[in-house]
Amino acid sequence: MFEDARRLVGIDGPREEITKLLMEEGDNDSKKLLKVVSLVGFGGLGKTTLANQVYTKIKSEFECTAFVSVSRTPHMPKIPKDILSGFGYCGTEMEDDVQKLIEILRAHLTNKRYLIIIDDVWNTKDWRTIECALMENNNGSRVITTTRHQDVATTCCFLSQGHVYHMQPLDEHHSKRLFFKRLFDIEDGCPEQFRDISNDMLRKCKGVPLAITSIASLLANQSKHVETWEKIHNSLGYELDSNPTMEWMRHVLSLSYNDLSQELKTCLLYLGNYPEDYEIETFDLMRKWIAEGFVREKHGLDLEEAAKTV
Ligand SMILES: Nc1ncnc2c1ncn2[C@@H]1O[C@H](COP(=O)(O)OP(=O)(O)OP(=O)(O)O)[C@@H](O)[C@H]1O
Ligand SMILES: [Mg+2]
């Protein structure tokens, strides 16, 4: 979620566009009203990444800021709670009553200029609940939502003066930069013998950052032989050609998965214990892996030091 900005490509233009929509549009009176911008696009297009970039850029201009994830089956009380803890609120009344939590949140926001990012809204019903907390206080507050669904995006923008922003795939230039940087650690090209096959694969990724980075990581772990790459390319062929969304991504990921050692496969599957969008503490996770007996302690290895390198 929080990709290092230096590893991102083609983000400056979209980040400026969203910032402009949020901060610069309208006359002085309308700038004071609450505004929502909703980023919409299919999985892996970079919605969360872009929302986070805008958040980092403009948050110093707001009194209260929070970045929260909703996900497919949210535990609703968690959302106002997460927003409140994002604001640094640590009242004692943090129970599980959504209505009460929303009241606390509204009271907290009464006179403040707030910026809230609500990442990954799955349906309009969840949004309707969240929306109750976002009071109009004429202080120039701003909200960004991300979603895969057009109808949710439209609903998010309905009450405020909002904008739906359609995520665009990366263009050819940025796709290449991302791919080659991840694979060869050079941005402007690749060794001659890999050029054709790289271009073929990139064409099939259709500018989807998740596709490009997944394939680059898969190839980075293989021997640097054109024949090996061709084998992988052929096994991706059909799905990549026909459907640039999640279906074939599953295939890419399963190829990467099959490539892992038995030990790492178990460790990876263990992540299924965590709910979607849960923030996993590396140190805590490594201790659990060891406690489960998935990985053995290596003599002389300091776990805390190792966790820092992950
Ligand atoms: N501009 C970019 N440059 C480089 N990598 C990017 C860029 N945008 C996204 N990525 C990478 O692509 C992957 C998917 O991005 P992200 O999680 O933001 O997509 P998403 O649209 O939010 O997907 P979902 O709908 O599943 O939440 C991440 O690994 C992210 O680091
Ligand atoms: Mg996302």
Structural domain ending residue among the three candidates 166, 199, 224: 166
Q: Are residues 130 and 28 in the same domain?
A: yes
Quick check: CB of 46 below 6 Å from ligand 1?
yes
Q: Domain end: 166, 188, 203, which one?
A: 166
pLDDT value of position 31: 86
Determine the pLDDT at residue 95. Answer: 76
CB distance 205 to ligand 1 below 6 Å: no
Domain annotation covers residue 301: yes
What is the predicted pLDDT for the residue at 285? 92
Q: Do 198 and 279 belong to one domain?
A: no
Same-domain check for residues 74 and 216? no
Best mutation site among 49, 166, 179 for ligand 1, i.e. most ligand atoms within 8 A of its Cβ?
49
In the predicted structure, residue 255 carries a pLDDT above the cut 90: no
Do 56 and 112 share a domain, yes or no? yes
State whether 159 and 176 are in the same domain: no
| Cβ of 49 below 6 Å from ligand 1 | yes
Please, which pLDDT band fits residue 243 given cuts at 50, 70 and 90?
low
In a domain, 177, yes or no: yes
165 Cα to the center of ligand 2, angstroms: 14
With tokens 């006359």, the residue in question is 27
Query: Residue 270: what pLDDT?
Result: 95
207 C-beta closer than 6 A to ligand 1: no
Q: Is residue 93 part of a domain?
A: yes
81 and 95 both lie in a single domain: yes
Provide the residue range defining the domain that includes 195.
Answer: 172-248
pLDDT of residue 262: 87
Q: Please tell me the predicted confidence (pLDDT) of residue 299.
A: 66
In tens, the pLDDT along 98-133 reads 888 999 999 989 989 999 999 999 999 999 999 998
Name residue, tokens 């983000």. 11
8 Å CB contact between 303 and 283: yes
Q: What total number of domains does the chain contain?
A: 3
Q: Note the pLDDT tens digit of each residue in 191-228.
A: 788 888 888 888 888 899 988 988 888 888 777 888 88
What percentage of the chain reaches a pLDDT higher than 90?
38
pLDDT over 90 at 77, yes or no: no
pLDDT tens, residue by residue, 78-88: 899 999 988 88
The response to whether residue 267 sits with its C-beta less than 6 Å from ligand 1 reads no
Q: Closest ligand 1 atom, CA of 9?
A: 3
Q: Report the C-alpha gap between 263 and 48 in whole angstroms.
A: 31
Cα(154) to centroid of ligand 2, in Å? 18
- Cβ atoms of residues 256 and 214 within 8 Å: yes
Q: Is 71 in the pocket of ligand 1 (CB under 6 A)?
A: no
Residues 202, 291, single domain; the answer is no
Whether residues 185 and 79 share a domain: the answer is no
pLDDT of residue 142: 95
